[in-house]
A and B are shown apart, each in its own frame.
Chain A
């Protein structure tokens, strides 16, 4: 199953040179890895004009479906067609099996921690696993969530865990997103467009389907009804059409067959939430909300919020409705808590983590701080309260001045910073000019938890479109790839 690189010619992959990073498709000798042998073969048969033609077909498909994303630049948001590179990411069955077990394990431990913090009296704190001061100083710790009952103790129903593959070929968790992770709609739409434009690429690949996401989400949310009602009334709560992920909110409501609502479509009466419909008020059991905690209820949180539902907190306290994800998950998204997740896995599950963290220095520890700041030029500094790459300093790309400023900022406010080893993200071929060249990528798989936990096969692969760039965010010129998880071979 190992191909030999042919002589240089006019083929798209003839001059492909994996760099120093782990390449998903080619090993260090330049030989094709088994999982990719068939797809590489197919791309070798293509010439650039054919690839361009396919790319246009995909873009047309996205345009027809209205699949766009919003780039916020200066003042107004600009809608762009969703960018997808044709060369897919392929994950073999055994590799996926291990990765998905690791993801389930991690989300299970984080759910245990949230249940413990908000409904269990904080045993992990009492036992010294996570320091209390770290939790109470986290902006994500939501005191209003204490005592709100959560069915199955499933505080995080939809998690998006960002994983990367380092130079040693092992997966590591880069970031946890337990509030409102987005991107799943692009996963489903990437596959749909790919299957339509180039179905022949799939030939001989037993690819796990993705179109079932709506059903999986629906059954997860069904299990979250407060009173065990098995056909609950579910709504998707969006901030509205100006939100950058509005397309996804509409997609999710449609694929589950439920209403898409804004705050003003809901009303609370006697601590119960109702939806205003043409047939009058209908009780709502489960709200899949895509708005932040602070905006959910202007009575309890930000009084200036017009996005939320006044009185919603009282309904949550009364236990008549479930909000998914639960209130207060931001404490786990706090990067200050991230270094403790492996210990949380050991503490709650009595198991070793299947997927490791990226090695992280906690800036509030004086020894770790001085060690990390001394070699900050090789490391990555991240503010704990941000996500999506905001505020990140990449040491090797920073000037002396930037490094000094970062050191001073961190010294002044160590609680709000972590410093990590720089991960050389793995690469895959992606189209650049008229050749396929290695480009760095990450992966955001989605983990659904209700009565049961399921890991959705694959996830969103984001790819940097510039050579050497580690920035995969679509708002900063990143693209995406269809992600194929291969089904186990049937004997």
Chain B
């Protein structure tokens, strides 16, 4: 499927900012399942962009500005050709998860991480253990966890913050795609299945129910899903927010232990005001003979949390949804 993606970010400061420094992770990954046909990141004011591949293989683009400004706009435009991802055929026996080589190879995705803290014997582990009870194939365990996450959480925007723990998330019972992905990741790790967090774009009008309509263009936010490692097979991509597997409509930006390894935007600015971030992704299906996807108006606006006292104010990133 050929997709045109335009990701537009607009930082609006209540008072002029004298400096801001940012790192941006929005470029789609180029691999065997998705081919990046074109990509560019532009900004207003115009800034020098430094692209680098990070430890996880994600492209990070650094950009900073040192002249007073009230607005900073970034626009990432990409054309990507995606292919369906393979599905595991044969059942992978759960006993294989105990293999020492498998576990040490995937240690980074089994251990707790910044946003996926695990308490031995805690609510997350308890829930995961009971969800996978009776499953003898790893695929069944993974699917049971994903189904359980959908039972545990309602999709609701604006109720969670990036600092939330998995236990708090379970108590709250609602969140957005990154919360679904973090909970699934934590539950999988706590039953010995290596799991990683995927940041990307989803071509669907409604991310909670994978859209199979033929809409040519949707206005959304960045998306997050997961991959679980099946012993002897590889990484299997699933989307806990809508319960399906991740396929042609999912465009990967990067993978990591959790959100903290692949935030779309992270930055700091100096100034005394507050910031509002408008962010919107427009994804269009490429139709022969038609011009590339136009960029439409600004998306929903949300005030960022009140900044801390020091002169360097931090803007973690807009939440993904």
Contacts and interface: CB of A to CB of B under 8 A. Distances in A.
A336 to B, nearest CB: 13
A298 B314 contact: yes
A359 interface: no
B121 interface: no
B170 to A, nearest CB: 24
A311 B54 contact: no
Contacts of A144: 54-55
Interface string A238-280: 0000000000000000000000000000011111000000000
B265 to A, nearest CB: 10
Nearest to A309: B21
A268 B64 contact: yes
Contacts of A146: 54-55
A137 B316 CA distance: 25
B50 A314 contact: yes
Interface residues of A, number: 26
B319 to A, nearest CB: 15
A346 interface: no
B111 A137 contact: yes
A271 B48 contact: yes
Contact of B64 (A131, A133, A269, A306): A269
B208 to A, nearest CB: 30
Contact of B53 (A137, A147, A269, A310): A147
B107 A271 contact: no
Given A133-B107, A298-B268, A299-B21, A314 B54 contact: no
Given A144-B54, A144-B55, A271-B48, A136 B22 contact: no
Interface string B251-274: 000000000010000111010000
Nearest to A118: B55
B171 interface: no
A146 B53 CA distance: 9
Contacts of B270: 310
A313 to B, nearest CB: 8
Contacts of A133: 104, 107
Contact of A317 (B21, B50, B104): B50
A299 B54 CA distance: 15
A63 interface: no
Nearest to B107: A133
A303 B19 contact: no
B187 to A, nearest CB: 21
B310 interface: yes
Interface in A127-167: 131-133, 136-137, 143-144, 146-147
Nearest to A148: B52
A318 interface: yes
Interface string A335-371: 0000000000000000000000000000000000000
Contacts of B66: 267-269
B39 interface: no
A311 B54 CA distance: 15
28 contacts: A131-B104, A132-B104, A133-B107, A136-B108, A143-B54, A143-B55, A268-B66, A271-B48, A271-B50, A271-B64, A298-B312, A299-B21, A299-B22, A299-B267, A300-B23, A303-B268, A303-B316, A304-B310, A306-B310, A306-B312, A310-B21, A310-B64, A311-B62, A313-B23, A313-B62, A317-B52, A317-B62, A318-B50
Given A132-B105, A269-B66, A270-B48, 11 more contacts: A133-B107, A136-B108, A143-B55, A147-B53, A147-B54, A270-B64, A299-B267, A310-B19, A310-B270, A314-B21, A314-B50
